[in-house]
Structure formats: C-alpha cells, structure tokens
Amino acid sequence: MDTDTNDLTAAWVRVQAALPEGWTLDGLRCASTGLAEEERSDEWIAVAVGPNGEERRARAAEPVAALEGIIAPDR
C-alpha cells in the first residue's frame, strides 16, 4: 500500500472508533455530481449512518479531512 492509502485506512479506522455506539461510516466519495465541467468538484464527502438511519455528512478538500469532519467537536 502507498502512503495515501495507509493514511486513508488509518483515518477510516480512527473515525469509526470515535463514532458514538451504533454509528458506522457509510462512505467516502468525490463531491462531483457529473462529468460536465460545471459538475466537477475536487472536494470529498464522508457519510456516517446512525442506528435509527440518521446521517452525518462532512465535506472537505481532502478525503481524510472529510472523514475527520464527521467527528469534529463543533458538529
């Protein structure tokens, strides 16, 4: 694995462990909504799902920052 993959894997594990009981990380994706120039984005969106189907989302310029945004203290 390269360093970026290791960093992302470590962040995923760290954020999952910090979520409240019953919550799980559900995904990390590019914020683009399509392939057209005006639909492209360099940002990332992380999503966590709670035990009752509620969601937490965080958006950031870097994938690790998006993951960490899920557990940011100012949520």
Residue 75 within any structural domain of the chain: no
Task: Label each residue of 6-40 as H, E or C.
Answer: HHHHHHHHHHHHHCCCCCEEEEEEECCCCCCHHHC
**How far is residue 65 from each of residues 43, 44, 46, 54, 69, measured CA to CA in Å?**
10, 9, 9, 21, 6
Cα separation, 28 vs 47, in Å, equals 6
pLDDT at 10 over 90: yes
* pLDDT tens digit sequence for 17-32: 999 999 999 999 998 8
Domain that holds residue 60: 3-69
Residue 20 within any structural domain of the chain: yes
* pLDDT tens digit sequence for 46-59: 999 999 999 999 99
Q: How many domains does the chain have?
A: 1
Residue range 58-66: average pLDDT? Answer: 96
